[in-house]
Amino acid sequence: MALGTMYLYELKKLFFAKVNLIALAGAVIMIVILVISSTSELRPVSREAAKELDGRTIDGQLIEELKPTMRYENGTTTVEINADYEEYAPIMDVITSVTGYDSDLTQLTEENFYHLREQELSQRIEKQRLSEAEKEFWYTKEAQVPKPFVYHYHSGPANILKSFQALGFFILLLSAVGLSGVYARETADNMNQLLLCSRYGKKALYLIKYAAGLTWIMVVALFMALAVFIPFSIIYGMEGMGEMLQLVKPLSMLPYTIGEMLGIYIGIYLLAALLFAAVTMLLSVITQNQLAVTCGLLGYLLIDLFVEIPEKFGMLQKIWLLRPNAVMMNTGFSNYRLIHCAGRLFLNYQAAPIIYALICIIALLVGNRKYRRLQVGN
C-alpha cells in the first residue's frame, strides 16, 4: 500500500514539475510545427489526384506517361511536374530514388529501372563488404519483394515513418530535461537526508523512482507520437498501411509493408524512450548533479547528429548504427550490415530492441547498487 502511494507521489513530482510541463508543451508545439512545415515543402499531391494512379504497376507504360515531364540536358535530367502531372509526383520520387538525376531518364524503360535498382543494391553491398552469409540473407529477402512495384496512395503512413528521427531527438531531449533530476534533485534540495534514513528510502524508493521515470517517459513518448500521427493522418489520411515498403524506401530489400515497418518503428521508438530514460536516471544517480546530466545528454545529442563513423571501421560503425536515432533514420534502410550472434544473422531492427532492453536492466542494477551506497554530506 505504502509503495503504491510512493509511486503516485513520484509520478506527481514528474508530471507536475513546472520545467517538465514547459518542456513537454514546447516539444509538442515544435513537432506539430515541424510536421505542418514539412507538408509545405513537399510537392502538393491531393489525395484525389494520387488516387487516379492507385493500383497502377510501375512498368514501362507508366514510365512512358512520365516522360513528357523530363528533359535531359548537360548530363542531368530535370523533371518538371506541373498541374497536369501532379498525380505522377510520388511515382517520380520512387524512380529518382533509384536512378538519381545523372542518367538520361528520357530513355528509361521498365527493364532499365529494375536493373538499375539491382545494380545499385549490388554496388552498395560490395562497398559495405558484406560476408557471403550476409549477401545470401539479403538476396533471399530481396527475392521476396514483389516486382514490378505497384503504386498505391500512402502519403500518411509514409510521412509518419519519416518523422521518427525527429521523434527520437525530441524524446532524448525530454528525457534529459525531465529525468535528470530524478535522483539528483534530492541531493541538491537536501531531501536525501530524510529519505535515506526512512524505512523504504533505499531499495524500494530507488525502484519506485525508476518505475515512475519509465512511466513518465512512456506517457511523454505517446504524447509526442500523437503530435505527429494526428496532424499527418488529418492532412493525408492513413491509407497505404498495407502497401509495399519500397514505395517509401525503394532501395530497401525488406519484404515488409509500410504498416509493418511503422509497427517496428513504433516499437523501437518506445524502447528507445525507455533506454534514454534508463540512461538518464543512471547518470542522475551516479553524478548526483542534474545540470551535469542534462549537459552530458545534450552533448551526446550533438554527437549523434553530426558524427558518422566511416565504413572502414566495420565493427565500430556497426555498433554506432545501433543507436536509436540511427535505427530510426534512413541509414536503417541503406546500411545492410547485419549482427552476427549465435550463428545467426539479425537485422538492426531485431538486435537493437534486445540491446536496449539489456542496457535498461544493467542501468537499473548499477543504479541500484550506487543508490544504496549513497551518503549524505560525504
Beta bridge partners, 73, equal 76
Of the candidate residues 191, 303, 341, 361, the single one contacting other proteins (CB under 8 A): 191
Asked whether the CA dihedral 144, 149, 153, 157 is positive or negative, the reply is: positive
Of the candidate residues 3, 143, 295, 303, the single one contacting other proteins (CB under 8 A): 3
What would you report as the CA-atom Rg of the chain, rounded to the nearest whole angstrom? 24
Nearer to other proteins, 186 or 243 (CB): 186
Site membership for other proteins, residue 376 (CB under 8 A): yes
Smallest distance from the beta carbon of 284 to other proteins, in angstroms?
A: 16
Smallest distance from the beta carbon of 14 to other proteins, in angstroms?
A: 10
Choose among 350, 104, 124: nearest CA to 253: 124
Smallest distance from the beta carbon of 371 to other proteins, in angstroms?
A: 13
Q: Which residues contact 56 (CB under 8 A, 6 or more apart)?
A: 62, 150, 151
Nearer to other proteins, 42 or 194 (CB): 194
Provide the 10 A C-beta neighbour count for residue 102.
9
Nearer to other proteins, 168 or 181 (CB): 181
Q: How many residues bind other proteins (CB under 8 A)?
A: 32
Of the candidate residues 186, 229, 285, 364, the single one contacting other proteins (CB under 8 A): 186
Cis peptide, bond prior to residue 148, ω within 30 of zero: yes
Of the candidate residues 22, 36, 133, 194, the single one contacting other proteins (CB under 8 A): 194
Nearer to other proteins, 128 or 215 (CB): 215
Amino acid at 50: A
Integer CA distances (angstroms), 9 to 5, 205, 225, in order: 6, 11, 26
Q: How far is CA 334 from its chain centroid? A: 14
Site membership for other proteins, residue 19 (CB under 8 A): no
| Grid cell for residue 86 | 501532379
From residue 202 to residue 231, the character string flagging contacts with other proteins as x (rule: CB under 8 A) and all else as - is x--x--------------------------
Of the candidate residues 197, 341, 362, 366, the single one contacting other proteins (CB under 8 A): 197
d(CA 34, CA 28): 10
The torsion angles phi and psi of 104, rounded to 5 degrees, stand at -80, 95
Site membership for other proteins, residue 196 (CB under 8 A): yes
Smallest distance from the beta carbon of 289 to other proteins, in angstroms?
A: 15
- Contact segment (CB under 8 A) with other proteins among 22-30, 37-45, 119-127, 195-203 equals 195-203
Of the candidate residues 140, 198, 330, 334, the single one contacting other proteins (CB under 8 A): 198
Nearer to other proteins, 271 or 374 (CB): 374
Nearer to other proteins, 135 or 202 (CB): 202
Contact present, 99 and 113 (Cβ < 8 Å): yes
Dihedral angle computed from the Cα positions of residues 282, 287, 291 and 296, in that order, rounded to the nearest 10 degrees: -60
Site membership for other proteins, residue 17 (CB under 8 A): yes
- Contact segment (CB under 8 A) with other proteins among 12-20, 32-40, 245-253, 359-367 equals 12-20
CA angle (253 as vertex; 327, 97 as ends), nearest 5:
85
Site membership for other proteins, residue 13 (CB under 8 A): yes
Q: What is the DSSP string of 59-104?
A: SHHHHHHHGGGEEEETTEEEE---GGGGGGHHHHHHHHHHH-SSS-
Asked whether the CA dihedral 363, 162, 119, 242 is positive or negative, the reply is: positive
Of the candidate residues 189, 226, 308, 365, the single one contacting other proteins (CB under 8 A): 189
- Contact segment (CB under 8 A) with other proteins among 7-15, 40-48, 329-337, 353-361 equals 7-15
What residues make contact with other proteins under the rule CB under 8 A?
1-3, 5-6, 9, 12-13, 16-18, 186, 188-202, 205, 375-378
